[in-house]
Chain A
């Protein structure tokens, strides 16, 4: 054992010295392999420590039912203020990756998905745990997550710089339509009702206009002194994602959840690796499905996991075994929900369009350090961009290693009573939002938006489009005003905003996403009505 440890440390030292040399060479670097030159930065003591902290903490938070990845990342943002931009993003990125994977622990051992992305994992994962194969299910889940996650981050590495260069061709009108596209796509695809999704987006866009106008300095919609400086994004994010969860826990009352943790027997890791290699088809389907779905803004890990599970069943010769503890279903679901993590950041890092609510929270983490995604990020802050992306790659490996060891502890955390969770999250939300600017106004905004969101959610509205509206609102407005000035000085508003192939393409995508979602909603309604008649 000691010999193995010494060999590992020697290899690590050699790798570290190689990466240090590479990072010294990066001044003359560039091109498709630019990311390699920043690997050394991930291994500095502070950065690596934060990566470990984010990974282990994320695994535990992810395993806790009721704490979604978005909420975990939102609650972590106040802790990144005193860190450098890259360090803060490393912590947030590691937490994002690990909470998605950690959600599998409670899905497998408790049949309660830690996050919506783990819904498909419960189908076969819990059945395996019931058969006494909990350890095997957890090992397969973390290994599949790592494979999917690594592929997803590689896609992020190679697609992002290309798309960021392409984004250089974008003018104010295109950026305006892109911001509208971000809100519309999430509003229509991420909601159960297209109209309510779009309405949520409009509420977010309106909230973004509260405060003093940037150009004229006019007061807009300031109906309370706390709103004088506008709505602080971080306080809003904490309120919109954490407070509805707290109130939902209150609404359950003093109910005992009664979830019973399955016992985890020992299982050789080598056997799990061999089994994963035998199930290449499920890994491939899960990884590809997750990667493609991750690239589409608004389509989250929940859909990635379910679609991959369904496709894997269709292509499997053992499809009748799915749902009764078949490893293929578990592998496909877990590789898919982690494969979507990397690609979901592509639209964020290139076009400032967050692909998911968690990506929107990460955008908030970038903006508080004065860094804007797109070419600015890769040209002026390549160290931040590549250290963050590389840390996500290393984070996938760490997540797999620690996941296998932390699973037992995480399952115990998952049993923490809802009363404790609600009180802890409320306390963290209050302290977190106050610490943003040491302002009670931010705490009031956080609480007000949180309570409003809880009631809106009960009536079918959703937080994701509202958050995107709030974040993309200033981008949309700035480009709308700038575009209007250019248009008035040139051809006029109509040709400027509605002419040109790129504008037409973006408008077509906006319209297509709305109509597609409306059609899907009508179809599912007809299907439900038919089922009711048949019943």
Chain B
């Protein structure tokens, strides 16, 4: 696949997913009962599916002019952070406890994207201090001030 065609393929995939969602929404709106409950969804899904298919066909014809897609470099950069963020949100926050999971995710993300060299002890100490300060602020704000009870699970 040439480099020029990468955004086009991405646009086809992206608009294809949107079009598939549009078709599903329209199908559900016109088939589910009671029909009175789906009166408004029918109205909007009709416009939704028309616009989604229009966008999809334009992407297939290579006539999409807006949106740069994602370069391979951007994808490589964002993937580790995104995976950590999703593991933190969908598993660790419940599994380990809100504060523990937040502290671990914060420290990993900070270390992963910090431009300071990883070989220096000073930069690791700085990261630990920043994480501790952030957690103290979060605990003060949410647990003490707003009295939000978060899942504690196996840890804190």
Contacts and interface: CB of A to CB of B under 8 A. Distances in A.
Chain B binds chain A:
yes
B39 A460 contact: no
A198 B110 CA distance: 37
Given A247-B78, A419-B112, A443-B89, A195 B102 contact: no
Contacts of A434: 98, 148, 150
B114 A247 contact: no
Nearest to B52: A199
Given A215-B36, A423-B110, A79 B65 contact: no
Interface centre among B22, B66, B90, B98 (most CB of A within 10 A): B66
A312 interface: no
Contacts of A191: 66
Contacts of A456: 14, 18
Contacts of A206: 25, 41, 44-45, 48
Chain A interface size, as a band, is: 35 or more
A471 to B, nearest CB: 14
A221 B66 CA distance: 30
A484 B42 CA distance: 14
Contacts of A276: none
B8 to A, nearest CB: 11
A281 interface: no
Interface stretch (A46-54, A109-117, A253-261): A253-261
Contact of A460 (B67, B98, B106): B67
Contacts of B41: 206, 209, 220-221
Interface residues of B, number: 71
Interface in A225-266: 246-247, 249-256
A19 to B, nearest CB: 29
B66 A196 contact: yes
B142 A440 contact: no
Contact of B78 (A251, A419, A460): A251
B121 interface: no
A249 B112 CA distance: 12
Contact of B86 (A79, A193, A252, A447): A447
B70 interface: yes
A254 B37 contact: no
Interface string B135-146: 000100110001
Going nearest first, the 3 A-B pairs with the smallest beta carbon separation are A460-B67, A460-B66, A250-B81
Given A419-B114, A431-B98, 12 more contacts: A202-B44, A209-B41, A218-B32, A220-B32, A246-B85, A250-B77, A252-B77, A254-B112, A427-B102, A430-B89, A447-B86, A480-B40
23 contacts: A79-B146, A82-B146, A199-B52, A206-B25, A209-B40, A216-B34, A218-B32, A218-B37, A221-B25, A253-B76, A253-B113, A418-B113, A419-B110, A423-B134, A424-B106, A426-B88, A430-B93, A431-B142, A447-B86, A456-B18, A457-B67, A459-B67, A480-B43
